[in-house]
């Protein structure tokens, strides 16, 4: 039975997520930007936190953890490769490992690039992937640590998930991402339609996260380095998609 996913807005533009298994009563948290919104969401629903899944070490994904654990002494799971920079872990995981949340076996995917050791959590039965600052709605995280080819490989792993997969990323950056996306994919009707919806939703205060993988495949320029229209827009017709990705990321950094 699929688990319930609750989006928890935090800080100015971060998202944390709660995943609740009705059958077992277990609840997991993905990332801990700040304590109050998470604790309030748990209290409102009468849920007890059992697991915390950390995607990477940046402060705006972990700084709320200590205060949350004071109220909910949950098991903390994070990347072995980043354990020296993460809060203390109860379970350190690597790509290919699985962890059990409720009755579901959750797959660990290495999505290094934004940081080295960044991981995503894929719930195949629920059909959701928590990508934080790797694949984002209409974008991808800035490459603070990894070279473009590492992030390209990471995004390629995520893009191979089923198109109906729900993508829970870490920030409300979609509207600004859209302003860039149209510059490198100007003739994409699916992108134009999505931008209209994003503008409408944000004007009404509606989150644009999560999104669907099918939407990202159709409109996210960082997944579209293979597309001839995108290649032409950046003057790289016939180039390796990884090289096109690197050029798109360079342009976004300077946008």
The answer to whether residues 39 and 76 belong to one domain is: yes
User: What percent of the chain clears pLDDT 90, i.e. is strictly above it?
Assistant: 99
β-bridge pairing 166-169 and 128-132: parallel
* Catalytic residue from among 31, 60, 82, 185: 60
Give the count of domains, the chain: 2
The answer to whether residues 72 and 162 belong to one domain is: yes
The answer to whether residues 41 and 160 belong to one domain is: yes
Q: Which residues are annotated as a binding site?
A: 56, 58, 60-61, 114, 133, 171
- Last residue in a domain, options 169, 184, 210: 169
Active site residue 133: yes
Distance CA 225, CA 2 (A): 33
- How would you write the pLDDT of the chain (255 residues) with one tens digit per residue? 689 999 999 999 999 999 999 999 999 999 999 999 999 999 999 999 999 999 999 999 999 999 999 999 999 999 999 999 999 999 999 999 999 999 999 999 999 999 999 999 999 999 999 999 999 999 999 999 999 999 999 999 999 999 999 999 999 999 999 999 999 999 999 999 999 999 999 999 999 999 999 999 999 999 999 999 999 999 999 999 999 999 999 999 999
Q: Which residues are annotated as a binding site for Zn(2+)?
A: 56, 58, 60-61, 114, 133, 171
HSE on the CB side for 221, CA within 13 Å? Answer: 31
* Catalytic residue from among 21, 31, 51, 56: 56
Active site residue 58: yes
- Last residue in a domain, options 141, 169, 197: 169
Active site residue 61: yes
> Residue 20 CB: number of other CB atoms within 10 A?
21
Active site residue 51: no
Domain housing 246:
174-253
């Amino acid at each position: 039975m699929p688990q319930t996913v609750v989006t928890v807005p935090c800080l100015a533009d971060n998202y944390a997520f709660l995943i609740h298994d009705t059958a077992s009563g277990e609840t997991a948290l993905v990332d801990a930007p700040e304590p109050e919104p998470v604790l309030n969401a748990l209290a409102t629903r009468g849920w007890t936190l059992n697991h915390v899944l950390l995607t990477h070490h940046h402060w705006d994904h972990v700084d709320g953890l200590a205060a949350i654990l004071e109220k909910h002494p949950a098991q903390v799971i994070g990347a072995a490769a980043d354990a020296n920079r993460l809060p203390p872990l109860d379970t350190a995981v690597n790509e290919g490992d699985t962890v059990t949340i409720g009755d579901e076996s959750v797959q660990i995917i290495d999505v290094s690039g934004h940081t080295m050791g960044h991981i995503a959590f894929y719930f195949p039965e629920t059909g959701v992937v928590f990508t934080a600052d790797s694949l984002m709605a209409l974008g991808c995280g800035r490459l603070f640590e990894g070279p473009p080819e590492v992030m390209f490989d990471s995004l390629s792993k995520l893009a191979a998930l089923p198109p109906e997969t729900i993508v829970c990323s870490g920030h409300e950056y979609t509207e600004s991402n859209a302003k860039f996306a149209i510059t490198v994919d100007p003739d994409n009707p699916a992108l134009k339609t999505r931008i209209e919806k994003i503008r409408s939703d944000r004007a009404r205060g509606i989150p644009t996260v999560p999104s669907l993988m099918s939407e990202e495949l159709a409109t996210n320029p960082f997944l579209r380095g293979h597309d001839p229209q995108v290649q032409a827009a950046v003057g790289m017709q016939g180039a390796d998609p990884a090289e096109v990705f690197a050029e798109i990321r360079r342009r976004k950094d300077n946008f």
